[in-house]
Structure 1
Amino acid sequence: MSDPYENTPERVFAALPPAQGRGFAQSWWGQAWLKALEDSTLDLKQLKTGRRLARAGAVGAVSVRPGRVTAVVNDRDHTAHRADVLLPELSEEQWDRFLGMAVERAGHIAALLDREMPPHLVEDAASAGVELLPGLGDLEAECGCDAWDHCGHTAALCYQVARLLDQDPFVLLLLRGRGERELLDALQLRSVSQAETVVVRQETHAGVDAAEAYAAGEILPPLPEAPEVPAEPGLPPSLDTETEPAPGVDPSALEFLAARAAGEAHRLLVDALRAGHEQRVAEAELTAAQDAVRLASGGPEVPVAARLAEGSGRDREGLALAVRSWEYGGAAALDVLETDRPAEAETLARARAALESAWEEGERPVLRASRSRWTVVGGQSQLRLGPDGRWWPFRKERGRWAPVGPASQDPATALALADGLE
C-alpha cells in the first residue's frame, strides 16, 4: 500500500535533550505557540503530564508535514506510544490572502525571502483573515495509547513543537500546508508579478507609490550600495575647556548625554542598514522618572548617577534596582518592580491555574499571595505577575526585593531562576 504522504514535504528533527530547569521556549515564536497551546482545549492534567514528559526528554525524533506532527513518546515505564497532533491546513484561498498580504508589506517579503519570520506576521496575517497559530479546538490528537482525545503523550509532543519553533519558525508554515521552498517560490513569483504591474503604471503615470517601487526591487534599477557603518559610535565633543561653565550647567552631565545620543544614533543607523531588518516598534513615551532610569543604564559616572537618582525620585540603591529591572525588560519590568496593582480577574484565574500545574505533587513550594505577588513562605524568593500574565523572578537582597532575571511564561522556571537554580 502506498504512503498517502509520499509526495508531501516533510522535515524530521532529531530528539531534543531534556529541558530540566529551563523554559520550553526561548524565542517569540516558541512562546507564542505555548500560549496558543495553553489557550486550547487541553486540560491542566494533560498539560502537566505532557510538560513532565517533554522536560524529561521522553519525546523522540519529530516528523513535521502539512497538517500533522508525529513522534514516539515514552512513558516513565519506557512504554512507547506513537503520538500525532493534527492542525488544519490553510485553504488555497487563505494562502492566496497570506501571500498577497506579505507582498504588500515590503518588510515582510524582505524578511521571508531572507528566511526570517518576523513576529508581526501573525497580526498582519490575522488582519487578512488568516490565523497562523492554532485556535480553540484546532489541535486534534491521535495516540497509540488509545486515548479518544488529547493525552499526556500528545501534550508532550505539543510542548516539543515549541522548541522546534525556536530552531526554525518556518515549521509553523509547514504545519499549515506549505514547505519553505514552495512558499518562497510563490513569494518570488508574486513579487515579480506585482513588480511588472508597477512598471506598467510607471509608463502611464507621472509617479509610483514608494512601497510598490520597493517591492519591485528585482526589476527596477538597483539602489546604490549602503554606506559602511562605523564599528563604534562617534566620540562626542569634549567640554573640558578653560572657560568656566555658565551657572547651572554641568559639563559632565552634558558629555554623558552627548555620548548616549551618539550611541543611540549609531544603533539606529545599524538597524536601518541591516538587510532584512524588521523595524522595531517604537517604545511608548517614557515618563521623566523612567527616562532617568534608561539613561542610568548607560553606567554614568558618580556625579551624573547622583543627579539621575535625584531626578527619578529614588535613592542610589533604588536607582540601581530600577536600572537592573530596565536591563531585564525595559519599562514593563520597571512597572513590575514599582507597582503592585491587583491583577484582572481573568489574568488572576490563569495565574492560579498555572501555579497549580507548574510543579509535581509534593514539589510545589508554599506561596503566600498578596495582590500580584507570590512569596515563598520561609524563603527569600518571590514571583511577580505582570499585566501580560508573565512571571518575573525576585529575590530579597539587603532587605529589598530585587529582580534577578527576565520574565517567563512558566512560574516554575521563574522561581527556579529566583532560587539560583539556573
Structure 2
Amino acid sequence: MTAPRAPRHDDRRRTFPALPPRPGGGNGAFATTWWGNAWVESMEDSALDPARLQRGRAYASRGLVDAITVTPGRVMAYVHGSRARPYRTEIRLRTIGDTEWEELLDAAADRPDHIAALLDKDMPHALAESADLLPTAGDLTPDCSCPDDGYPCKHAAALCYQTARLLDEDPFVLFLMRGRGEHEVLADLTRRNATRSAAERTTAAPPMPTVEAHTALAPRTLPSLPPPFPAPSQPGRPPAYPEAPGAPDPLALDLLATEAAARAYTFLTTGLDPVAALTPWQDAVRLAAAHPGSGLTASTRALYRDLAAALHRTPTDLARAVAAWRQGGLSGLTVLEDAWDPPAGPFDRARPALAAADFPYFRPWRNRLATPSLQLRFGRDGLWYGYESDRDREDWWPRGTPDTDPVGALTALLGR
C-alpha cells in the first residue's frame, strides 16, 4: 500500500493566526517599522472618511480581525463587527511583472547589505524603492461583504491596520503581496549568487603523475629517491561529506578540510601561516568571506549564525565585516572598525581635490569624509575606502575599490 503523500507547500499562500489586541490601544503610530507605516499611509492618504479610519483602527487594536491570508495581489480576513456573523474583507493591490522582478532581484544580489537586512527581517529603503514594492495613495483597493459603501469601510480599514503589524514582523509578506513567496525569492537570490561564484572559480589543478601498481610492486633494486614533486598550483579540493544521523555537520567538515588544505599549501610554498596573526574575530570574517554564498542557503545561513554567535556578534555585523574584507582584506576590516586621526598630509588635501572634481561637500570627522549617503575613509595603508548608506540612516557599508586618490575611490563608489 502506497504511503500518503505529504501536503505540498504553497509558497504563494500564507495564513497568519489572528493577532492579539494591540498593547497600548490606538495611540501613536500603528506600525513600528518605516515600511509598516508606509503601508498604513497609503490607505489613509486615499480614505474618504477619517471617522471610518478611526473605527477601523479601534477594531484592529481590539483584535477583531481573524486570521489573515495573503496571496499574490490579495489580503483577506474575516472581521468582526456589530453583527454576530463576521464580514469577509479583502484588500487588493497590483502584482509586479517579471521584468520588474528581474530588476529587483538583480538589485538585491548586487548589495550584500540588502540581503543581510532581509535575512534580519529589515527592509532597506533603496530596495523597496527599486521596484515600487510599497503601495502609494490609491494602490490599495478594499472590498467587504458589509453593507457600508465607505472607501474604505471600517472593516477594510481594520484589516489594513492589522496587515501593517504583519509587515512589521516579516517584510517578506510584502514580496508575497507583490507576487512571489519568501522561498522563491531566496532561491532566486541563491541561484544568482552561485552563478557569480562559479564564474570566479579558478580552473582545476592538472592531475598528479601516477605509477601503475604492478610496476610499483615488482621486485627490483630501488634507485635513489627522486626529487620532491613541485608544489601544485593550488590547494586540493576536500571530499564530499554526506549527511548522516549523529554525524558532524557536513558544512563544518567541508570548511575544516578546506581550511586545512589551504593552510598546508601555504606552509608548503612559503613556510608562513597566514592565519596565526589574526584575532578570532578577524579569522571568522576571513572564513565567511571565503564563501560567497554564505547567508543565502539554509546551510550557509547557519555558518553566518554560528560564527557570529561564537564571538557575540550578530549576522549583520558579520555580513558588514565580510564586505569590508572583500573590499580590502585585513586592511579593509581595520578601516571599518578603526577611527583614527591621520597626520597632516594626504587627508588634508582630499577635500580640495574632491571640490576641484565637482563632487559635493564632504564633512570631515577623524579619518572620514562624509555626505548623508556617501563616505570616504582614509586607511593607515594610505588608501581611500568607499562606503555607502541609505540617506540619514548612518548604516555604512563598504562599496567600490580602494584607491590612493580620493577622487578615484569616489568614482569607483559611484560606478562612473
TM-score by length of 1: 0.45
Query: Which of 1 and 2 has greater Rg?
Result: 2
